[in-house]
Amino acid sequence: MIDKQLGGRYALQEELGRGGMGVVYRAFDTSLRRQVAVKVLASHLAGDPLFVQRFHREAIAAGNLHHNNIVTIYDVGVERGAGDYGQDINFIIMQFVEGESLDQWLRRQRRPMPLADAALVVHQIGDALQYAHDQGMVHRDVKPSNVMLSDNGHVTLMDFGLVRAGELSQLTQSGSVLGTPAYMAPEQITGATVDRRADVYAFGVVIYELLIGQTPFVRTTPMAVAHAHVYDPPPPLREKRPDLPPSVEAVVMKALSKEPSGRYNDAGPLAADFDRVSTGQMPVFVGAAALGATTPMTRPQPARGTPSPPPPARTRKSGASRLWLIATIVALLLLAAVAAYMAFSGRGAQTTTTPEMPIVEPEGTASPLPVVVLVDPTET
């Protein structure tokens, strides 16, 4: 693909990163004389209408977002029959962002981010997510590798490949599971309805990782990570980093509530509270009684007294729900084997989310099971 020109003007120069669904290149726009990034749909998916639609959906969704902390989309197109084997080349032209991803920063530094620096990053991610949510968009794959950090501290939110928005949502199969295991909200894993609070949960995982140096649930397999997100309470931050104020821990733990109703309603309030506690103030949206507390999701129990509304992921009977989760975990394990086979390559200065890959839906179940589609099963 190197030295190929797309759209009559975008000359590919260097591969920056690749995954199961696409490759990102640095390119030169010969018309406007500037560096750009080009995301190309993987050749083996070019003949799949669903993946082609999903790929172009990213350009449509992100192309309508105009924010200083969100990557800018310039163009989208198709080169018919221009591939090495005569397949179409589907591509998105976007802003070339200098710097490194938060994931690369964490790997290079091998230490948690100082609280003051984390507050600056969190503020910008929160602004970007709040803006996207206000436009009716849900990112659904917020994670460090989708956040670029420039040398001057500027943050850019990348890769809206899993975004859900209004009339575009029909391109996501009903009951599908989308995301990256280490950052998925419980309702994403269980195939329940997902809204902006799923992004809040993933945002909370990112903050946790910035402050601790690792995600809350470090397990050996994607299936174990998925189970932990649904059932296990996250380890308190102060167990690993005692210097953090209790109010900081409380804010992050609220974001990591298993139930969407227990989280911040949006990314803006989360970022605002984090900004306050990072400077020694008390949070606005976390009561004093909640400092350091989080409630793990429990299996359904018989109602006593006035019942509380059931969580979205728990509307089935216990047996069917547990069967559903087992089947989902099996699918995650199968995906891990596929991911190992595909052997993802390293990332360059301009990173991209490792795109989604399909898993065949298990058969012979008592109720419909999700089609598990994970962006990066290697991020456990």
Name the active-site residue from 29, 103, 127, 141. 141
- Alpha-carbon gap, residue 8 to 93, rounded angstroms: 13
- Alpha-carbon gap, residue 370 to 179, rounded angstroms: 13
Q: Which residue, among 149, 65, 77, 158, has the nearest Cα to 113 in the 3D structure? A: 149
Cα pseudo-dihedral 55, 57, 58, 61, rounded to 10: 170
Phi, psi (rounded to 5 degrees) for 156: -130, 125
One-letter amino acid for residue 289 of the chain: A
CA 125 to mean position of chain CA atoms: 12
- Alpha-carbon gap, residue 109 to 287, rounded angstroms: 34
Plot region of 373 (φ>0 → left; ψ -120 to 50 → alpha; else → beta)? beta
- Alpha-carbon gap, residue 28 to 38, rounded angstroms: 9
Tell me whether residue 199 is one of the annotated catalytic residues: no
- Alpha-carbon gap, residue 150 to 342, rounded angstroms: 30
Cα pseudo-dihedral 267, 270, 275, 277, rounded to 10: -170
Q: Which residues are catalytic?
A: 141
